Structures are given as structure tokens and as C-alpha cells.
Amino acid sequence: MTPVALLHHFHSLAPWLDPETTVDRIIIGDPEAKVNRLLVTWMSTFDACRAAVERDCQLIVTHEPTFWSHRDELETSRAVAHSVWQAAFARKRKFIEDHRLVILRCHDVWDFMPEIGIPFAWARFLGLGDTPAAMSENRALHRYDIAPLTVDDLARRVAAKTATLGEPAVQVVGDGSRLVSRIGVGTGCYCHPVEMQALGCDLSIVCDDGNWYWENLQCAADSDHPMIRVNHGTSEEPGMRSLSVYLARTFPDLTGEFLAHGSCFRLVGA
């Protein structure tokens, strides 16, 4: 297997994708390198790069950026003026190049992959079901209809699931005693409460990277739309596991390992 062959496979799964504008590409490394071991992880952090080397994986398949910019990672990061960021960029790039790692990003394809992509896997992990009652046109936002329960009971149910990924508590906005049954689910930047309300949702489960308290969260609160917010990494971990399973089934001769990421932070109490 070569990284470019795997990239072409991903692109073939997504007829909606524009290969010229998608961020799904080889970020760094030799596209024609011969690889037989890969590491699948949500974000190609420095720790993930070290883990790939330790596990003798030549290729990392990542969902989120390697160099802290959604698009044109090498060019954008190289242009950062702050000397500390320049040093971090140079250090990480040198490590990747010294160990001949290749990093392939699979973001747009897996965000919209039917049935097993990021939002589908997240809803299934939460126990909301396999088939949404409604979806946005781009399939990124889902509504799942469940038996009525209170906001806080649902939040506790979500927290019991996310605890296994390193996030034992979730953030709740709205009246905890309100009964809800039409649950909106989204991840990343595709989880705006206004769009979920348009789908008929009476509660939205969102992530922190796509929602801010002074903007859409407050708008939802002022319109009496309760929300449960989790970390971005938590919400997309199930989808990355499904990607790892997909690759193992599709390419049985390619040895793959999954590196858990989960929540991007630890909670420390008083």
C-alpha cells in the first residue's frame, strides 16, 4: 500500500467531494512510500507521532490537523509570526521527517460517510439508535426520536457514555427538568442549534469547538432550547474507531492500530 493509493480510495467513497478543495490529502511525507502499518487517531498530535514511531507505523491517518490550521497546514503554520509557534512547528516537522512518517488526513470523507461516519457513530455510541428520524441536507446534523425523559436524565446518560472516553461530566444549558424526546446530534463545526431546531429538535447535543457561550449557546438559551455540550475529541472518538474497523476490513493485509484520543482535557476538582 502507498499513502496516495489509500487517499484515492477515500476520495472514491465520496462522490460529493471536490479533490481540489478538500482538506483530505497527504499533509506531509512521501505519497509513494511503501507502508504496511498505519496508526488511526483523531488528531496527529506530537504524542500520536511518537506513538506511531514506537509502534513501527509508517503512516498516520488523522481526522484533525497536524499543524493547527484547518487548511493549508504547512503554509499557514510556517507563516505564523510568533517565535514560539515557529519553534513548535519546526520541531514537530523535523520529528516527522526524521522518522519518515507520512500523515494522511481523512476529514471531509468521514464527516459525511453514510451509516458509519462521524455523526452516525457518535449517535450510535450514545445509544440513540442507528437510523435518524431526520437529517440535514448534507447529513451532518441528525435528529433521533426517543422516549421522553428530562434534560438532566439525558445528560447523565450521555455522561455515563463519555466517561469511558475521559469526559466524566458534561455541560448543560437549560431547564434540567424539561421533558425532551427529539434529540439533535452534531459534531465539530456541524452542530449549530438553530439548524437543529429547524430539524424539529427539542434538545441539541453539541461540541465545544462549534459552540460558544456568548453566541449560539446563549441564543439557544434565550430561545428555551436546552443543550448538552461535550468536548470535540470526545464526540468524534467513536467515528474514528469505526474508521479503524473499516480499514481493517477493507485492507486485511494492512496492519492497523487505533490510538485513542478522547477528551482533549482532564477535569480537576478543588
Task: Kindly state whether residues 76 and 154 are assigned to the same domain.
Answer: no
Q: Phi, psi at residue 81, to the nearest 5°? A: -80, -30
CATH of the domain at 69: 3.40.1390.30
Q: Is residue 68 part of a domain?
A: yes
pLDDT of amino acid 81? 65
Do residue 75 and residue 101 come from a single domain?
yes
Considering the domain architecture, whether residues 180 and 200 belong to the same structural domain is answered as yes
The residue range of the domain holding 143 is 118-232
Whether 98 and 54 map to the same domain: the answer is yes
**DSSP label at residue 187:** B
**pTM of the complete model:** 0.95
Average pLDDT along the chain:
95
In the chain, how long is the greatest CA-to-CA distance? 57
Is pLDDT above 80 for 79?
Answer: no
Higher-pLDDT residue of 255 and 138 is 255
CB 49 within 8 A of CB 101: yes
Q: Is the pLDDT of residue 75 over 90?
A: no
Are residues 19 and 39 both part of a single domain?
Answer: yes
Kindly tell me if the per-residue pLDDT of 245 is higher than 80. yes
d(CA 77, CA 74): 5
Residue 265 maps to a domain: no
258 assigned to some structural domain: no
Which residue from 190, 37, 176 is spatially nearest to 119, judged by alpha carbons?
190
Residue 221 lies in a domain: yes
Helix (H) or strand (E) holding 137: none
- Beta-bridge partners for 28: 103
Q: Among residues 70, 24, 66, 26, which one has the least CA distance to residue 45? A: 66
pLDDT tens-digit readout, 132-187: 999 998 889 999 999 999 999 999 999 999 999 999 999 999 999 999 999 999 99
Q: In the listed set 85, 111, 137, which residue is the last one of a domain according to the structure?
A: 111
In this structure, are 151 and 206 located in the same domain?
Answer: yes
For residue 219, is pLDDT > 70? yes
Flag whether 17 is in a domain.
yes
- Where among 111, 138, 162 does a domain terminate? 111
Are 98 and 140 in the same domain? no
155, part of any domain:
yes
pLDDT, tens only, 14-30: 998 999 999 999 999 99
Please check whether residue 56 lies inside any domain of the structure: yes
- Residue found by looking up cell 472516553 in the block: 165
Contact call for residues 207 and 63 (beta carbons, < 8 A) = no
pLDDT at residue 210, as a whole number: 87
Does residue 191 belong to any structural domain of this protein?
yes
Cα 199 from Cα 193, distance rounded (Å): 10
Q: Are residues 56 and 131 in the same domain?
A: no
Cell of 85: 509557534
Shared domain for 155 and 76, answered yes or no, is no
For the segment 81-122, what is each residue's pLDDT rounded down to a tens digit? 677 788 899 999 999 999 999 999 999 999 999 999 999 999
> Which residue, of 111, 145, 162, is where some domain finishes?
111
One domain for residues 106 and 165: no
Cell 511518537 found at: 50
Are 193 and 138 members of one domain?
yes
Q: Same domain, yes or no, for 130 and 105?
A: no
Q: What angle do CA 201, 207, 208 make, to 5 degrees?
A: 130
Which cell numbers in the block locate residue 37? 502499518
